[in-house]
Structure 1
């Protein structure tokens, strides 16, 4: 039974299993000038030699064409099972891309690079499969003929008389790391055809016999040799880009003009060959005019194909908007420093007595310093009844009623003027005014032309002698009618033009406003979600379509964010299924567009673009295309520009976040350095004291008195407790800085918390007067009691250390609105004003002299601030009157449940 890749439920799994971050594989092309020169045999022979050297080699897809030599060379090479696709009750065998990537060989053989895949494969073209294989780190050997090169299509078709539909962009050929020309003499090739070594069936040989004339084969061989030689030059330049820059210091810039004509493809290919020959930049420009909106569907499709062809041939697409086509082309060319302009000219046999300057003449005047190349159109001009942008006039009841009404009003005013004795010139002015008004209130030129003609007829019928007749006795009346008709036509034409220009200006102003607003809002966005949100909103406003964004978070494509357009008739949830997500994931991993209107996952309902900065993809933007017309060229250009601006904003924000992380890391490194420096300095004193006192006790145990021993024991205990408190503070600060501190918030009685803290304070507290004052014995606060007890211990110990013996220390707590305010006040020497702002900084110690002469590390108060802030409170220090210091911090109050 056949399978279908696009509809398979395992599509996401297959794409998710793609290897990432691998070194790209290398592409080797076996190139020939005609079928039968031996490309496949040369590829298989090279594969056999590589396999003998231990290279892991598989044949992805080889078409033997019934040739014995080809079949014999395949023997011994692992064959990849084909992908079977059910299409119209028939099973079609195609190359299985997913299986090849899972197998992951060193080299894979893939015949017919220009092959078009069957409907249901991931990619429309096989060369897209090759690009994905190369990205997965797999080397590829493949074959292609000269007639399959896109830029050579017109040249080869003129020789063979056959237009080949399966073609590859020149960029694919140019990207090859190695090209091997498989050459054979034309006489030998003709002999092989006669022996049936190329086509086995006699009918096939006869069908292709006209292609194997010696003259045609010589011409094709020459083209292949020349094209291969150019490829060798490109490979050299890729090896030494500095030499390339020095060699081509005056770089050419080729501009090709896009149109909706079928012959424009020839112009694009010619321009691509010129850009390749001059090693210059290549730009394709499309000038969107007011008439572009009225293009017929066939012309729109031709325009899209021409646009995609230019992209495939490596052109940078640019779009401008305006009514003066040569003026817009010249302005863009002068601004972009274009050196050569390539454009087509249609075949036209009609001669006119009066002709205005054509586009080429006007462009030559506008850009006299730029070389202009005209590519003639040798195709027969289609016998269109209407030009490509014109449509048959559409009659509407509303516009018809407006036209009849305006004529009736003008006639009534004319009769009134005639009754009052006004001259005929005044009545003519009324009708001209009616024509002007009609052009303003109706759509299309048909009603303006009809009003002009009817105005002359009505004027003749009612206001010229003989009255109520279309005859005119006066010889001057025909001139009057002609002047009136001309004035009416000119007036209506100018009015329609002004109206169209007003609409065009409004549209340009709206689009410009959207872009400017996008730029302004992206600059004001504070973080990555805000940037994505603003970008999506502006895209919906610009395109009037539903937009879906897939942000990238920690290297993974996150869940879609839907931005639906107003009055959307479809459910956006229908476009976020597993298959659509798989396409977005593929775009993220490959940094290429895919989906509807592309050659990759063309059956998808959305058009997917990577929001990228260089090789980094920040998000994937999807535009819902199901039940919608394809994007216009100008809309697409604006969308790409908008996504580019969004990528810049995302890249800037990412860099800012990385800079913040680097800054935090630098601060942490400084913290470690300061901590080590402080520990190495300040731990020496207590450790020396402990070891010294312990040594005295060990060596002089019998000599020392009990009072002396007690003093030494006390010093050892004090130094040990100082070290214990220091280590506890260091561990707490480490947990807070690492974000591993988990608060266990519960309602606690302040009286119990304070009492517990007083049990663990410095033993020297007996030398001070410590009392507790509570406004309410049942006062409760929301806290992690273990941490708040440590805060109280640190602040009370700090008061004990820096105040003299006999000082008074008061711990008080009171409620104010939603907060519990805790204060620890002492009557010591106080804290200088210049130290109050720095007191809670890490490693800062005031210049107070402690009784034991030991300097603290400055960690205790810093830890207190971190703990209180983690509880959502604040901490501060202020003077105590008349003398001393007050430490004040707040906690969230908790109501007492009296029913418990």
Structure 2
């Protein structure tokens, strides 16, 4: 199968079929010090042993070296078909990650861990494929040469005589569960080369012959042995630390200074090795100057590469702003308690006007910190930046400059008329230069104003007047001092303006972060938290932000917040392919998208909003045709996403706490219900059983009137129990959320008539009337439930009013609602009792003496049923005497068919 790197096809479907597994796989690396030592053969031999033990083994990708030993060992293993990537007419065979994830063996073999994948693969590096396999719970065996470890690249390159461009971060090697060094004597390796067992092609043998010298192989072997031993020691330290339940303590803090120079890579690798050797903290510091934004695109790319390298090697990235680079480094080092500073050697010669060079200044400012200078034959570590911006001309600034010069000249002529000395006029022009630097943008106008002030002063105020000549021999010195003063004042003013701008920008960004924390604390739910975070990210980055919240382990529909004056259709960044990247970030808890090595062709940069191993949301920053994030912006954004994760985690914990509280309340409700039932059921059941016993044992003695009385009592108690059970069942259904309404349009007259057939037998002792405004009055309802409501309300009126009372059931239409009322002329209910009537288990006093028969469920059930219909239920006093219960339903029009 061949795919084009610009068309990833059904990426979403392929990712959705990938199994998720929280158990992480184990990684074993076979390490060699050179090509041909037998890494692949050792890996294949170990795989055969695992297969004989019943392990499901698959060869994911084995480099086709055409070596007989390797080919023989591949036999008997399942070989995964490679993925054919077509790019510019060239087909390249690569490891098929999606197929491997779907196959999901116990163990997979991958040759050449440091391999760079072809354009069109999900990841740029094969070690990233391995990381995804490990996260999916698949064990991996892989191979690598020692010169492919990032921090050793410079050391090995100086020995081998060439640089290796396929590298892996030290963290991959350090975090391996097992490392096996595949060793062979250098003489035996050279003999294998001569016999054609490493490179069958004679030209390849000739090309690599310079590497296979005994001296170089011995040096590479020593490095491999030492580094592998260090890795085993790190594993032992990690195990010991975990067993003791404390972190490895160290006071060493290594600081490496970054720049856009290519030589920074060597300095970063050296600092990483030092941090690893001293078991210290590792920080990479970048000093941002006013000229940073004006460097060339090439320098920007080198700077991003250096920052990414430092991150890969485990450095914490930090940035400060200032023109005095040594001073900023020293100040940060003192504040952060840095013990060692690593910098590159500066090739800049000390100028005649400079008191000391960069290293001397840094040493003087930080005398108690060890400073390590890494020699390099390349460019200067702190090289002078190449500016890409040409001086910007502005009509407003040009008019302003001319106006200031004209005004200064007018003041000068006035001073000359008043007889002031020339020194006073010079001061006016210097003030004009200072003011011009304050109100114009760019250094061009400040420089032009400085020169113009000298020329205009010479033209108008030195003899001969109105010419650029000067008779007095002291005037050249005056002009030189005036020009120097003008340049110095304009330069200082521009510097203060730039520092104020930077301070204002940082203050704004910091204020956005603080405002985010405040808004997240005020957010009431998950959607409010996500919206607040997205809104603040737009303010911080001035980019379009897309948020996918995680609901039930799946991504929800995206929340899109556009930056101001954005004319881009946001749907462009929420298509299937972009959503697939967000899904991958959610499943793998890793960042991806543009400016990364995973899905680098995407239009957005995706970050997981995570708390530990839990992903709460995925944030996407639209980066299409825009520069990458600045260091300070990126740090604040990560901090902001961390705040969002904490807020979402807190909200999730609150929801769980509410669920627990609800469960506790339900348990209390069940306990109260059982206590109430144990009393209220016992009495009617005892009455029923006692009356039945009397009828059975004394049927011949009892007369018909006595028997009828006993039958009536049994019947009344049975009806009461039936009504109680119906209420209990309805309460249970509503409490569990299993109440499914079957809404239909029904005639109120028929529903009321049906309810009156099932009311209390004592209704014969009362007068019950039904009053309807319209015989065809209809409402939308679940008939059985509304009948239950009417039965409960009428029975309540019967139980709580004396014999002979009038009970009226009325219904009328009010706008789009139907109002149903059940009123009586009984003794009424107090205001205090009315406020509690619809609470569960509340029962009012019954003057008839049968208050024992009441769990307080009837009116509570009525309220739940009416609310489920979208209506309201209420109680009020009846004028002049009694009580009125009322509830509303949705009205329905009567349809007449002709």
* Residue-pair matches, total: 897
CA contact (8 A) 1:818 1:893 kept: yes
Q: Judge which range, 649-658 or 585-594, deviates more.
A: 649-658
RMSD, matched Cα: 2.9
Q: Distance in 1 between matches of 2:191 and 2:238?
A: 40
**Cα offset, 1:571, TM superposition:** 2.1
1:126 corresponds to: 126
CA contact (8 A) 1:6 1:121 kept: no
**Cα offset, 1:759, TM superposition:** 2.9
Cα 1:754–1:478 change in 2 (3 A) is same
TM-score (norm. length: structure 1): 0.93
Residue by residue, what CA displacement relative to the aligned partner does 1:356-382 show, whole Å, maximum 9, x if unpaired?
A: 455555555655554443333332449
Determine whether 1:891 maps to 2:888.
yes
2:24 corresponds to: 24
CA contact (8 A) 2:550 2:617 kept: yes
Q: Judge which range, 848-857 or 217-226, deviates more.
A: 848-857
2:408 corresponds to: 410
Cα 1:797–1:149 change in 2 (3 A) is same
CA contact (8 A) 2:350 2:356 kept: no
Which runs of no fewer than 5 residues in structure 1 stay unpaired? none
Residue by residue, what CA displacement relative to the aligned partner does 1:135-157 show, whole Å, maximum 9, x if unpaired?
A: 12211111001100001111111
1:165 corresponds to: 165
Q: Work out which of the residue numbers 547, 551, 554 in structure 2 matches 1:553.
A: 551
Which runs of no fewer than 5 residues in structure 2 stay unpaired? none
Q: Distance in 1 between matches of 2:845 and 2:287?
A: 76
CA contact (8 A) 2:109 2:142 kept: yes
2:440 corresponds to: 442
CA contact (8 A) 1:548 1:563 kept: yes
Cα 1:830–1:301 change in 2 (3 A) is same
Q: How does 1:632-781 map to 2 (within 5 A)?
A: 632-744=630-742, 753-772=751-770
Q: Judge which range, 465-474 or 22-31, deviates more.
A: 465-474
Residue by residue, what CA displacement relative to the aligned partner does 1:733-778 show, whole Å, maximum 9, x if unpaired?
A: 1222222324455666655544443332101011123345667777
Q: Judge which range, 213-222 or 75-84, deviates more.
A: 213-222
Q: Distance in 2 between matches of 1:424 and 1:22?
A: 83
Cα 1:22–1:647 change in 2 (3 A) is closer
Residue by residue, what CA displacement relative to the aligned partner does 1:108-145 show, whole Å, maximum 9, x if unpaired?
A: 11110000011111110000111111112211111001
Matched residue of 1:799: which SS?
helix
**Cα offset, 1:233, TM superposition:** 1.7
2:135 corresponds to: 135
Residue by residue, what CA displacement relative to the aligned partner does 1:775-794 show, whole Å, maximum 9, x if unpaired?
A: 77776666545433322321
2:492 corresponds to: 494
Q: Judge which range, 747-756 or 48-57, deviates more.
A: 747-756
1:585 corresponds to: 583
**Cα offset, 1:869, TM superposition:** 2.9
Q: How does 1:245-324 map to 2 (within 5 A)?
A: 248-324=248-324
Residue by residue, what CA displacement relative to the aligned partner does 1:589-619 show, whole Å, maximum 9, x if unpaired?
A: 0000111111111111111111111111111
CA contact (8 A) 1:6 1:601 kept: no
1:197 corresponds to: 197
Q: Judge which range, 777-786 or 760-769, deviates more.
A: 777-786
2:55 corresponds to: 55
CA contact (8 A) 1:823 1:886 kept: no
Determine whether 1:219 maps to 2:224.
no
Q: Distance in 1 between matches of 2:330 and 2:823?
A: 82
CA contact (8 A) 2:28 2:142 kept: yes
Q: Judge which range, 207-216 or 129-138, deviates more.
A: 207-216
2:351 corresponds to: 352
CA contact (8 A) 1:769 1:806 kept: yes
Q: Work out which of the residue numbers 605, 609, 612 in structure 1 matches 2:610.
A: 612
Residue by residue, what CA displacement relative to the aligned partner does 1:695-743 show, whole Å, maximum 9, x if unpaired?
A: 3333443333222221222122111111111111112212222223244
Q: Distance in 2 between matches of 1:114 and 1:474?
A: 76
Matched residue of 1:308: which SS?
helix
Q: Judge which range, 554-563 or 410-419, deviates more.
A: 410-419
Q: Judge which range, 262-271 or 870-879, deviates more.
A: 870-879
CA contact (8 A) 1:802 1:851 kept: no
CA contact (8 A) 2:241 2:248 kept: no
Cα 1:848–1:372 change in 2 (3 A) is farther
1:176 corresponds to: 176
2:592 corresponds to: 594
CA contact (8 A) 1:319 1:637 kept: no
Q: Judge which range, 537-546 or 292-301, deviates more.
A: 537-546
CA contact (8 A) 1:609 1:620 kept: yes
CA contact (8 A) 2:253 2:275 kept: yes
Determine whether 1:567 maps to 2:581.
no
CA contact (8 A) 1:745 1:784 kept: yes
Cα 1:655–1:326 change in 2 (3 A) is farther
CA contact (8 A) 1:875 1:887 kept: no
Matched residue of 2:602: which SS?
coil
Matched residue of 2:211: which SS?
helix
Matched residue of 1:210: which SS?
coil
2:68 corresponds to: 68
CA contact (8 A) 1:795 1:887 kept: no
Cα 1:326–1:786 change in 2 (3 A) is farther
TM-score (norm. length: structure 2): 0.93
Q: Distance in 1 between matches of 2:700 and 2:756?
A: 37
Q: Distance in 2 between matches of 1:542 and 1:563?
A: 13
Q: Judge which range, 108-117 or 693-702, deviates more.
A: 693-702
